Amino acid sequence: MVEEQTQEEKILLIPSHEVMNGFCYAYTKALLRKLIEMKVQGRVFSTINPGWLTDTASAVCNELIKQISFEEDDFIDNPGVVKHLIDTTKEFLAIFEV
């Protein structure tokens, strides 16, 4: 919670809602928050089809992938890739934070 408040207070190098080449900081940040929330709550992977993303997690991950041009061939059934996507997105967003 403290990290989120600190992130909100950071000065951005770009307007948060501006879209550049299809990238929007605010949209990406919202998607990242949702994916982290789902991961903490254990809602990223399906309980019905183990190893598969839930529909919501799949939608969130797909949009994050588009926003940061993340490339991963073996996305479904690999929890390590979800963590890598989260870490990569955090690092990418940090580029625009002062």
Residue 20's φ and ψ, nearest 5 degrees, are -125, 120
Contacts of 85 (CB under 8 A, 6+ apart): 35, 61, 64, 65, 70, 72
The answer on pLDDT for 97 being more than 90 is no
Q: Which domain holds residue 31?
A: 2-94
Express each pLDDT in 64-96 by its tens digit.
999 998 876 656 567 888 999 999 999 999 998
- What pLDDT score was predicted for residue 5? 42
Over the chain, what is the mean pLDDT? 83
- List the one residue out of 28, 10, 20 whose CA is nearest residue 86: 28
Number of domains present in the structure of the chain: 1
Note the pTM of the prediction, 2 decimals.
Answer: 0.79
